[in-house]
Amino acid sequence: MPAKKPIKKKTPKVAIKKTRSVGSNSNRAKIKVVGIGGGGGNAISRMKEGFIRGIEFIAINTDAQDLDYCDAHKKICIGKTTTRGLGTGMN
């Protein structure tokens, strides 16, 4: 019985074209992390300690006091008239 010849895999050649300069701002992705509620605010505070620069952190909560402790770039307090700045008590 004749020996089988090994099959050679062909690797495709890829051509890369640069359409923009490397340093332009149009190439950069904008990353935003949104944390909702007390747990989301806590997650943002922890993430902000270890993540690289350039990520925007946004916290949304009904509890104004909890927002003060959060280390987010933007803080949005919702339900001011309904909860008067207090939390919803996990509801």
The one-digit pLDDT tens for each residue of the chain (91 residues) are 666 766 666 655 555 555 544 555 566 788 899 999 888 998 988 888 877 678 899 999 888 888 888 888 899 988 777 666 566 666 5
- Beta-bridged to residue 56, according to DSSP, are 32
Residue 44: φ, ψ to 5°: -60, -45
Q: Distance between CA atoms of 30 and 62, rounded to whole angstroms?
A: 26
CA pseudo-torsion sign 13, 18, 23, 27? negative
Cα angle 73, 35, 70; round to 5: 50
- Where helices occur in the chain by DSSP H, the ranges are 37-50, 64-69, 80-83
- What is the predicted pLDDT for the residue at 57? 92
Residue-level pLDDT at 69: 85
